[in-house]
């Protein structure tokens, strides 16, 4: 009786040399290490880098992924490790799927998270399909998140290093995508461990700084990008209190976010005021005391559910949730309204919950991600 072929490190019952893997390469240290590691293990690696916006403008830009310099760095890693590398022009796809919605969301008074949409609509959709067209067995990325096999198939779990965990930005990964994706860095204890691997493989990007900005937003200046995309968007208007009393003027709703305190230009008040609502139709920035920022009820839509049981099979799900990327998960109850909408009750009120942000679901006392959705209206 023949012995069963053991699974390789990517979970396939065949030798690495017969396993083709497309690696999404941004030019940074994380994806470069993934590609180098898999190449060293003998996999049939194909590196792919996406050009997401104007290459000429990108060349002069630092601190963001997928810029011209990054394309060069990704290609260099491929040359050093001896595997093919392709650059795909996704400029139009990226603009239609990510940038335009980003602008419209800000104009509607929301606070969007374009990196989630990029993963959902570009990297894990179009690029993933390209990987399949290349007859790859799977696609690997440098994201800090873990894919573990559970009783009912692949599960999404937080990274070992909580400081690097990217689960908030990957909640919309579908079960079908998860079946095809691999995340080789999710188990590492720290970014230092990743850089040590880069040094081990002799990669020139070993000491390359992490990207900080959203790739198409130079220096974090959202308003200037939106004004460029939507001329006339920064129309002036009134700053009012919750009773409608005019306290001052503003230079465009797009310059403000829920919870903002600084830069309002309305000094001389006894107590500090915060942005509590943005009224786009009236071109008003509504301010009030800090306690008005607190909310316990969060409406969520476009839910992607990753639990083992159907989302609507229960009236309530007792979970932990994140309503912004920088906060730890907090206890909550999800009450499904349909297969893709729900009301989330936070056990402890959160301040500054904003439409356009994600609400990500976590299994209580576990590292497993149960999915999430989009916060969609003000209060």
CATH of the domain spanning 295-375? 2.40.30.10
Q: Residue 88: its pLDDT value, please?
A: 93
Q: Which residues are identified as catalytic?
A: 118, 215
pTM check: above 0.75: yes
* DSSP E strand stretches across the chain: 20-24, 44-51, 85-89, 138-140, 145-150, 153-158, 181-182, 237-241, 246-250, 274-279, 284-288, 294-305, 317-322, 330-336, 342-351, 358-362, 369-375
In the chain, residues under CATH classification 2.30.30.280 are: 234-288
Classify 16-219 by CATH class: alpha beta
The CATH number assigned to the domain with range 234-288 reads: 2.30.30.280
171 close to 361: Cβ distance less than 8 angstroms: yes
**Placement of tokens 């995309």 in the chain:** 229
According to DSSP, the residues that pair with 55 across neighbouring strands are none
CATH 2.40.30.10 maps onto the chain at 295-375
Low-confidence spans in the chain with pLDDT less than 70:
1-3, 54-67, 212, 268, 378-379
Say what the pLDDT of residue 156 is: 98
Tell me, what's the pLDDT at 112? Answer: 87
The interaxial angle of helices 191-200 and 29-40, nearest 10 deg, is 50
**Using CA atoms, how far apart are residues 278 and 356, in angstroms rounded to an integer?**
13
pLDDT of residue 58: 42
Delimit the CATH 3.40.50.620 region(s) of the chain: 16-219
For the chain, give the number of residues.
379
Identify the burial level of 80 via C-beta atoms within 10 angstroms of its C-beta, where 0-12 means exposed, 13-18 middle and 19 or more buried: middle
Token look-up 């906060």 returns 327
> Measured between alpha carbons, how far is residue 325 from residues 21, 163, 169 in Å?
30, 11, 8
């Amino acid at each position: 009786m023949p012995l069963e072929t053991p699974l390789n490190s990517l979970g396939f019952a065949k030798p690495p040399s017969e396993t083709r893997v497309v690696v999404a390469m941004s030019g940074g240290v994380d994806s470069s290490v993934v590609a180098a590691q898999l190449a060293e293990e003998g996999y049939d690696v194909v590196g792919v880098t996406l050009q997401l916006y104007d290459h000429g403008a990108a060349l002069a830009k630092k601190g963001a992924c997928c810029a011209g310099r990054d394309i060069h760095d990704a290609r260099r890693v491929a040359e050093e490790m001896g595997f093919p590398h392709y650059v795909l022009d996704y400029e139009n796809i990226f603009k239609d799927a990510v940038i335009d919605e980003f602008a419209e969301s800000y104009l509607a008074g929301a606070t969007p998270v374009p990196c989630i949409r990029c993963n959902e609509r570009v990297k894990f959709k179009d690029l993933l399909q390209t990987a399949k067209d290349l007859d790859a067995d799977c696609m690997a990325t440098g994201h800090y998140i873990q894919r573990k096999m559970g009783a009912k198939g692949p599960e999404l779990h937080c990274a070992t290093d909580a400081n690097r965990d990217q689960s908030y930005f990957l909640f919309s990964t579908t079960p079908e995508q998860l079946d095809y994706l691999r995340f080789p860095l999710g188990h590492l204890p720290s970014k230092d461990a990743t850089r040590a691997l880069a040094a081990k493989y002799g990669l020139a990007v070993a000491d390359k700084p992490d990207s900080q900005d959203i790739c198409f937003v130079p220096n974090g200046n959202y308003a200037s990008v939106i004004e460029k995309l939507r001329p006339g968007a920064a129309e002036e208007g009134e700053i009012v209190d919750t009773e409608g009393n005019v306290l001052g003027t503003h230079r465009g709703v797009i310059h403000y976010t829920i919870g903002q305190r600084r830069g309002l230009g309305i000094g001389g008040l006894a107590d500090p005021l915060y942005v509590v609502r943005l009224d786009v139709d009236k071109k008003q920035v509504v301010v009030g005391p800090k306690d008005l920022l607190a909310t316990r009820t969060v409406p969520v839509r476009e839910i992607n559910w990753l639990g083992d049981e159907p989302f609507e099979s229960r009236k309530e799900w007792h979970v932990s949730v994140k309503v912004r990327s920088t906060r730890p998960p907090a206890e909550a109850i999800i009450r499904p309204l349909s297969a893709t909408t729900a009301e989330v009750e936070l056990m402890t009120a959160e301040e500054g919950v904003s439409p356009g942000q994600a609400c990500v679901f976590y299994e209580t006392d576990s590292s497993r991600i149960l999915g999430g959705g989009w916060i969609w209206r003000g209060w």
